[in-house]
Structure formats: C-alpha cells, structure tokens
Amino acid sequence: MADKMKAMIEQAEQDLLHTYNRYQVVLESGQGMYLQDVNGKKYLDFMCGIGVFALGYGNKAFNDALKAQIDKILHTSNYFYNTPAIEAAHKLKAVSGMDRVFFTNSGAEAVEGALKAAVKYAWLKDKGQDHEIIAMENSFHGRTYGALSVTGTSHYREPFGQMPCGARFARVNDFDSVLSAVNDKTCAIIIECVQGEGGVMPAQEEFLKKVRALCDERDILLIFDEVQCGMGRTGDMFAWQTYGIKPDIMTCAKALGCGVPVGAFLMTEKVGQNSLKAGDHGTTYGGNPFACAAVSKVLDLYEELRITEHVRSTAPYLTQKLEDFKARYDCIKERRGRGLMQGLVFDRPVSGVIARAMEKGLIFINAGPNIIRFLPALIVTKKEIDEMAAILDEAIREEIGL
C-alpha cells in the first residue's frame, strides 16, 4: 500500500467510528463502470455502491442536472411545495403504479415509514396497541430500530435488546411458515422480492401470490422492500412487476438517487387514505429540491437509455457466465438471482477470492460469508462482463491452488 493511501486510512481510523470493516482502499473518482483510488489504480466495479450507481459513474446529464439545481435552491422545508419533488413524485408514481409517495433520506427510513403506515392502518381499524408484523428469515431491511425489528438475522438484533416493532419470522418461499405465523395481531407482511444481504434469494411467484391472497383475505398489508432489487435491477422497474403481484406499500432507495441520498415509500390510495395523516410522520430533508432533482433526472435517464430493456438483454449473458463458473469449479454450489442481481454460492468463505480480485482491479461484495454478490451498474455491457469473468477466474484458481 502506498504511503499516501496508508496515511489516509490511518487518519480515518483515528476519526471515524469503527462500524464498518472497510476494504483497505481510498477511492477518489469514477467514470462509467470503473473507480480509481488515490494512487491512480483503476477498478472494475461489480458492486456499484451496493446497487446504487445504476447509471455508472460520471453520467454527464445526471451531473449537469444536479449542478443546475444547486444554482437554484438546495433546501426549503416540507412546509412548502417544491418543483423537483412534485415532478419526481409524479414520475415515480407512473413507473411504479402506486398512488402516494413519501420521500425519505435512505432505504432504512423508507422502511420505517412503511412500518408506521401499516401499524397506523391497523390502529384505525381496532385501536389495538400490540400489532405484529411478519418478516422473513435472512431478510435485511436496515439498521435503524424499526427496520432492525423486521431484519431476519438475529445477530443484528441481539445486542440492542427488545425491539420496538413486534415481529414474527417466516421463511421466504415457504407459505406454510407464513400461515403459521399469522394471528389476529398481524397487521403487515414485509418481503424482499429478492433478498440481498440474505444471500441473493429470489421469492418465487407462487409464494408471493399466496401471500397476496392471504393479505387480501385478512386485510393485512403487504409490503415489498425494493430498496436493493428495485429500480430496474431485475429487468422491470420493480421486481414485483414481473409477476404483477402488487403490494399495498413499497419501499425504494439506492438507485433511486444514483448516489444522492434519497429513498421513498409508496402506497395505494386505500392505504394513503387510511393511515398516516398530517403530523404522523415527517423528516427535515426528505423530499428536498436537490434530492428530488436527482430522482427526477434518474427516472428521465432510465427512459431515455431504455435501462430495463438493456438489463433484460444483458442479464442472460451474465447469468450464463456465472453458470459456466458453477460447472467449472466444484467449490461453487449454486448460482442464483434475477437480472443483474446475482450470487455465486461457494462451499467455503469467499473473502479470499474477493481480496484477490481486488488486488487485480475488480470490486465485489459478499452476501454472507460464502456468497459473492454481483451488482454491476445497469449500463454494464458484455465487454465488462467478460473482463470481470477473466479476473474472477484467476482469483478463484489462485485461491483454491490450481
């Protein structure tokens, strides 16, 4: 490690709270599918900020839109309307098919708002104070208290004691486990259509249809968390749209702002008219002009660049490359995922393979100790997929001693 980077990392470790086990790299700039560190080394990025930079780095039209908004106004408050928020909400409704939008600052905040809306909906029906939410094992919805309550990995929750949101956990693609968890207190079921942190596990169409029917039968709200799997990553704007199984509430973030911190939760008109009212929920920065200018331009560029069509045409090439790896190496047990959200499941920890790839100029992220997760920018081409595959092949062969 060059002295410049080493010194910067040492300074960061003195100043920043150590809640991340960071790669020992200081990034400085990016262009397209590539990042560059402070020493000038380039990296092909198959992590894209954990699914954030869907349009790649340095998109000129996007950057110009942000610069133009800076010269107008960055922030007012939610006591006023602002033009970008009005435009962004209307466009987001159009691509999602939902009816009401609330802008947040992150995915976790979007989940918090979705949970509050569900609990308020139930409270208006029965005035009960002990409603419960069913979530999935191995799910990940965020690290704030409410979102953590429905995150289905116990070691994330255990250090923080009693959670503020009563939750029962079922298993994705196991409808009987959902049915057995439902009771008179159940007010919502929250599901990632493709689990990300939990191992790149897609929810099956039949399972989602059964859950939707159960919710309809018992007036339980169905929440889809699309923070990672949404915004075109699976080939439709939102993963649920592939099956036409519409939620009552939906969350999104990450690629919604392509690097600008912004999220949203959306709901049907029925939920909007029977849940959160003035004073029930709010945020100082949520929906501010700068963040919403980003959302508005992202949605414009998705249409102009035909992003979902590009994902549908490119994803099969990535899928086949990963299937080839599974066929070639006994240590790879499974390939799973949808669209440009894929995972390779190994029979051992993948930290060594990821580290070797990083040394060779390729960035990955894991999804649990034994899964490499593939989250490239949605503008990825076959050329970058081939480059990725060549480096990954070298990293695997070195790691297993071939």
Q: What is the CATH number of the domain that holds 136?
A: 3.40.640.10
pLDDT digits (tens, 9 = 90+) for 296-330: 999 999 999 999 999 999 999 999 999 999 999 99
Residue 366 lies in a domain: no
Give the angle subtended at the CA of 65 by the CAs of 60 and 69, to the nearest 5°: 145
| Ordered alpha helix ranges (H), 54-141 | 60-70, 83-96, 107-126
What residues contact 269, with CB distance under 8 A and at least 6 apart? 99, 100
For position 307, what pLDDT does the model report? Answer: 98
- The H or E element containing residue 200 is none
- The answer to whether 272 touches 100, Cβ cutoff 8 Å, is yes
- Round to whole Å and give the CA distance between 67 and 272: 34
Joined together, the tokens standing for residue 83 give 């033009």
Residue 150 lies in a domain: yes
For position 87, what pLDDT does the model report? Answer: 98
Amino acid at 282: G
Give Cα separations from 314 to 35, 115, 382 (angstroms): 21, 35, 7
Q: Which of 116, 124, 122 minimizes the C-alpha distance to 145?
A: 116
Residue 318 lies in a domain: no
What residues contact 340, with CB distance under 8 A and at least 6 apart? 233, 234, 311, 314, 315, 318, 374, 375, 376, 378, 380
| Ordered alpha helix ranges (H), 106-243 | 107-126, 145-149, 154-157, 175-181, 205-218
Residue 161 lies in a domain: yes
Joined together, the tokens standing for residue 123 give 């409270």
pLDDT digits (tens, 9 = 90+) for 214-271: 999 999 999 999 999 999 999 999 999 999 999 999 999 999 999 999 999 999 999 9
Residue 290 lies in a domain: yes
Specify the DSSP class assigned to residue 203: P
pTM of the model: 0.96
- Round to whole Å and give the CA distance between 47 and 41: 17
Domain count, the chain: 1
Provide the Cα torsion 171, 173, 176, 178; round to 10°.
50
Joined together, the tokens standing for residue 155 give 């070691």
Count each helix (H run) and each strand (E run) in the chain, helices first: 14, 17
Residue 90 burial (CB count, 10 A): 12
Coil, strand, or helix at residue 224?
strand
| Ordered alpha helix ranges (H), 363-402 | 382-400
Q: Which of 257, 238, 2 minimizes the C-alpha distance to 104?
A: 257
Specify the DSSP class assigned to residue 363: E
Residue 172 lies in a domain: yes
Q: How far is CA 372 from the centre of its chain?
A: 16
Specify the DSSP class assigned to residue 294: H
Residue 246 lies in a domain: yes
Question: Where in the sequence is the domain holding 266, given as residue range(s)?
Answer: 80-304
Residue 266 lies in a domain: yes
Q: Which of 231, 387, 394 minimizes the C-alpha distance to 303?
A: 231
For position 161, what pLDDT does the model report? Answer: 81
- Round to whole Å and give the CA distance between 63 and 290: 12
Joined together, the tokens standing for residue 131 give 């409603």
Q: How many CA atoms lie within 13 A of 10 on its CB side?
A: 7
- Round to whole Å and give the CA distance between 401 and 391: 15
Residues in the chain with pLDDT < 70? 1-2
What residues contact 2, with CB distance under 8 A and at least 6 apart? 39
> Cα-flanking dihedrals φ and ψ of residue 209, to 5°?
-65, -40
- Round to whole Å and give the CA distance between 92 and 104: 14
Specify the DSSP class assigned to residue 171: B
Coil, strand, or helix at residue 139?
coil
Label the pairing between strands 194-195 and 132-136. Answer: unpaired
Joined together, the tokens standing for residue 195 give 């689990």
